[in-house]
Amino acid sequence: MAQFPERPSAWGGLATLLDTPQKRYAAIAVILVAMAVAPYIFGSYGTVILTNALLYVLLALGLNIVVGYAGLLDLGFAAFFAVGAYTVGITTLHFGLNFWLALPLAVLLAIVAGVVIGAPTLRLRSDYLAIVTLGFGEIVRITARNLRETGGASGLIGIDSPWLFGWHIRTPLDFYYVFCVLAIIGVIASVRLANSRLGRAWLYVRHDEDAAEAMGINRVKVKLAAYVVGAIYGSIGGAFFAANLGAISPESFSFRQSVLILMAVILGGMGKIPGVILGAFIVILAPELLRDFGDLRLLIFAVGLLLIMLFRPSGIWPARSKR
């Protein structure tokens, strides 16, 4: 394939700003300090919003592995989020399990769900997967609404907040820092995955499935791996979401939730981590800024998504194509 010189872009200045490791370390230090002091600047309401944004960063990073890295459209991502939240809710409430034991169980169940739904469908046409995941998301939500164990339509309340080495994670500020740590771990894991053998296989499968297969990549296995990693992110986000709010209900895991997470991935720029983080913040902060528009908010989002797909299909801050 012919190589084209990289097109100078509005973000070119930013790229040169971060061209040496020292500058990059300095930028990371600035971001970490900003994260640490942000709650004291934005106040208690701002902290809750930021915590929510960080949760979305985590979820969007997970979906980004499915959509951005492996190129599979998943319209039911909220299902994994729900599996994580409900596993923690049910096991801690009904069986008195410790949160830190419920968490790995939640991840395990999400992996099982990911394999059960992914293994048969990932062989099919890629657009079938989109609809199947949509149906799967609805199955999970309706099941949560109809079962007695999940608390029916009103959901579960009174989920305990966890202890960590004598620290009771309880206040909004505590949870803000927990989500900071989760988001940072999520970013590091995403970067490491993208640069791994598996990450290169995802890139290859996304660009040309048949050529990838001819090179000896098992495309079903590779896609399933993406699906399962996404499920792990989703379930961890769900587990901490349940612990944070102490209450969950089926409507937190509707199709709209899946769409919002997907928007976070697409608006910022599929496949690139800064873009996904930007997208997650847009999805959470824009409704706060557009509060005056009421019901129009979702319409504005939807029109924005359509315009981006038509005029800037790789997002606001897209991935630079690598050699």
Partner 1 sequence: MSIFDIFTNQLLNGIVLGSFYALVALGYTMVFGVVKLLNFAHGELYMVGGFAGFLVLSFLAPYLGPGWLGVAVSLVLAMIAVGFLGVVIERVAYAPMLSAPRLSILITALAVSLVLQNGMLTLTKGQYVPFGAALGFGGVKLGNLFISYNQMILVGVAAALMLALELFVSRTQYGRAMRAVSVDKDMARLMGINVNAVIAITFFLGSALAAAAGSMAGAYYGSLWYFMGFLIGLKAFTAAVIGGIGSIPGAMLGGLILGLLESFGTQLPGVGSEWKDVFSFSVLILVLVFKPTGLLGKPEQERM
**Interacting residue ranges for partner 1, rule: CB under 8 A:** 67, 71, 73, 75, 117, 120-121, 124-128, 130-132, 134-136, 138-139, 142-143, 145-146, 209-210, 255, 259, 262, 266, 295-296, 298-299, 301-303, 305-306, 309-310, 313
- CA 177 → CA 59, 93, 98, 167, distances in Å? 17, 25, 21, 13
CA 179 to chain centre: 13
Dump the DSSP string for 69-93: IT----S-THHHHHHHHHHHHHHHH
Residue (19 or 295) nearer to partner 1, CB: 295
Residue (145 or 170) nearer to partner 1, CB: 145
Smallest gap from Cβ 303 to partner 1, in A, equals 6
Pairing, β 247-248 against β 167-168? unpaired
E strand or H helix at 248 = strand 247-248
Residue (125 or 323) nearer to partner 1, CB: 125
Judged by phi (left if over 0) then psi (alpha if -120 to 50, else beta), residue 269 lies in left
Calculate the dihedral angle through the C-alpha atoms of 296, 139, 250, 276, rounding to the nearest 10 degrees.
Answer: -50
Residue (119 or 245) nearer to partner 1, CB: 119
Residue (103 or 217) nearer to partner 1, CB: 217
Residue (143 or 161) nearer to partner 1, CB: 143
- Secondary structure (3-state) at 167: strand
Smallest gap from Cβ 126 to partner 1, in A, equals 6
Smallest gap from Cβ 147 to partner 1, in A, equals 10
Smallest gap from Cβ 142 to partner 1, in A, equals 5
Tokens, residue 323: 């050699």
Residue (43 or 120) nearer to partner 1, CB: 120
Smallest gap from Cβ 313 to partner 1, in A, equals 5
| CA-based torsion, 216, 219, 225, 230: positive or negative | positive
In angstroms, rounded to a whole number, what is the distance separating the alpha carbons of residues 233 and 182? 10
Smallest gap from Cβ 107 to partner 1, in A, equals 23
Smallest gap from Cβ 11 to partner 1, in A, equals 21
Exposed/middle/buried for 94, CB within 10 Å: 0-12, 13-18, 19+?
exposed
